[in-house]
Chains A and B, each alone.
Chain A
Amino acid sequence: MNTEFMVIDNMPVEINGERNILDVIRKAGIDLPTFCYYSELSVYGACRMCVVEDQWGTIQAACSTPPKAGMAIRTNTPRLRKYRKMILELLLSNHCRDCTTCEKNGKCKLQELAQRFGIKQVRFHNTSEDSELDTSSLCIVRDKSKCILCGDCVRMCNEVQNVGAIDFAFRGSKMCVSTAFDEPLANTKCVGCGQCSVVCPTGAIVVRNDTAKLWKELSDKNTKVIVQIAPAVRVGIGKELGFSEGQNVMGRVVAALRRIGFDEVFDTSTGADFTVLEEAEEFSKRLLTEDNLPLFTSCCPAWVRYAELNYPQLLKNISTCRSPMQMLASILKEHHREDEKRVVVVAVMPCTAKKQEAARDEFKEDGVPYVDYVITTQELIHLIKEANLIFTEIEPEAVDMPFGTTSGSGVIFGVTGGVTEAVIRRLSDDKSSFALRAIAFTGVRGMQGVKEARIDCNGREVKIAIVSGLKNADDLIRSIQKGEKQYDFVEVMSCPGGCIGGAGQPVTNRDGKYNRGAGLYNADRMSNIKRSEENPIIKELYDGMLKGKVHKLLHVNYLKPDRS
């Protein structure tokens, strides 16, 4: 059979199952501009930036037109250029144009396209209203005056995350993106995953920036500032600082943090090792009694929040293990209990929801949180830039002791399936390196939103599901409730692809996420300790500090909200 092709700007281009001509055009090396198109979301066709012209002069949106063999279109004609400029000018005419003070400055799609199309003046009177900030959420900040109504956030919140906290409201010139009754975001079912901010092309939804308060702590001489770095950060931060996407730059991050003024630097992977041990033990116990199965993982705070809001009856199935960040933080605070200085624990996370988790009452002792500040990977980039550090010239350094040893199992927590793989490593009786490598082929790896694996555990077949994206989680829970599916262990990560695709990370695409995942698996391969239980600090602490305190420091009961 002959290959089907269409003609783009006089160039034949093969059609290979693309959903729309936009994908074909982009494949041909033309970066047609869009505001409202994301391949993982439904097609909306609102921004009209991707318009193309056919041989009869008809103009259509490339994102919502399926390709047909023989079709001939042009992507760059005088008319199209004129239209695109007009759209940009109109968008800018009611947009707050204080770019220099905008959180999205330099990363704004509207700014970028205005630059690309050479918009030097806006002929229309600026009708933008004063910014109307919603700062109620601990995770994200909304500014309606910067919204261009592309609807990306709405579709992300509804289609991928099944949260539905925001939607369009009103119509015509009064149309806006709003919560029900324009309630503050904190009063809605928002779980703080922040994926809306990932797709927002402008500064209308941004991640909350807590760096100003942190700088104050860093310059306080009476405060000891301890920081922990989550697994996904090391592979997400490099691209914006001069390295390739997915490259593991942990050593440089550690060195940069010391230069910025952090007194001690640790790796959240150590906390993850404790999570593996505690969760594996909890799971083995539940397997014996067959109680509260499937066991749902508890590392992801957005997922925990989602379950609290939508499936309170499932809370007993969620592991009582604290998240790795909280485990390490409680260990650190316990260790420094007698310190003469005030000890502040900071966590660098790929995640926006962690900000909310850190503020939960369950994770406070006498009103003081175990984690005092959560900053995202993006905020760390701000810190590094503000400290005038040239990241590429920093010599890599190692994390501090005594909590400086980590295992490969802890590092892979940052990618979907990682928690499961780490727990399987712990549970499997065969401790050979062959068996360890074989786990990678049970179905736990890969960027799919839903994965299944079956393993043998003491002669019992254990059925495992791994989901990322809350819509996938919701569908899975429904099929379990209907009795269509049955599992023993379910790993849930709210962000598609796991923490590497967290909303606190610099924005990337599918390939970028794949590279970040590969970066973490590389780190695991290069790690001389593979299994969490082989991490020497684990044994040391269980015999020492944690004796009699395992429950107090490593577990949490989400069923009783005011446990602290």
Chain B
Amino acid sequence: MSEAVDNREMDEILQRYGYEKSCIIPILQETQARYRYLPKEAFSYLSENLGISTARIYSIATFYENFSLEQKGKYVIKICDGTACHVRKSIPILERLKNQLGLTADKVTTDDLMFTLETVSCLGACGLAPVLTVNDQVYPAMTPDKAQELLKRLKEEE
């Protein structure tokens, strides 16, 4: 299921950072931007080329919430559950989407790799609460119904 890592693409990223050990975080960010997650195969290639052990890269990748070691869906839905969104009922939106997509707290990506559902602590758009984003596009003042409608639209676009 996992996408093969293209070493030439990795080289491009590495070159941009001059194969510099200390740039491991931006390098991982770009890798994730390219593959939507950090593929396991990228670790050994990065390790060889940067002189950092795979265990250390794993350490960095697991330390930051933003890095994902699991393949993500084509649409990454982030539901804000910061204080403002929470009091304006973000949880029912989350529950509805979970039901619709058949996801749980542990299983966040659909089997067809179309949708990933995550919560975030604050998107910094409290005035628009409750907020969710789909691949960084912001959808303000959501309700469970509006979210379900959005999901339907995304599925139809396919």
Contact = CB atoms under 8 A, between A and B. Distances in A.
Interface of A: 158, 163-171, 178-181, 188-189
A165 B63 contact: no
A180 B57 contact: yes
Contact of A169 (B40, B52, B59): B59
A168 B53 contact: no
Interface residues of B, number: 13
A164 B60 CA distance: 14
Chain B interface helix/strand/loop/mixed:
helix
Contact of A167 (B40, B43, B53, B69): B53
14 contacts: A158-B56, A163-B53, A164-B53, A164-B56, A165-B55, A168-B63, A169-B58, A178-B59, A179-B55, A179-B58, A180-B54, A180-B58, A181-B54, A181-B69
Nearest to B52: A164
B62 interface: yes
A171 B62 contact: yes
Contacts of B58: 167, 169, 178-181
A69 to B, nearest CB: 36
Contacts of A170: 62-63
A189 B53 contact: yes
Nearest to A164: B53
Contacts of A166: 55
Contacts of B59: 167-169, 178
A169 B53 contact: no
A167 B55 contact: yes
Contacts of A178: 55, 58-59
Listed residue (B55, B62, B63, B69) with the most chain A CB atoms within 10 angstroms of its CB? B55
Nearest to B65: A171
Interface centre among B40, B52, B56, B57, by most chain A C-beta atoms within 10 angstroms, is B56
A368 to B, nearest CB: 35
A189 B58 CA distance: 14
Nearest to B56: A167
Contacts of A168: 59, 63
Nearest to B63: A171
A136 to B, nearest CB: 15
B29 to A, nearest CB: 18
B138 to A, nearest CB: 28
Interface string B26-62: 0000000000000010010000000011111111001
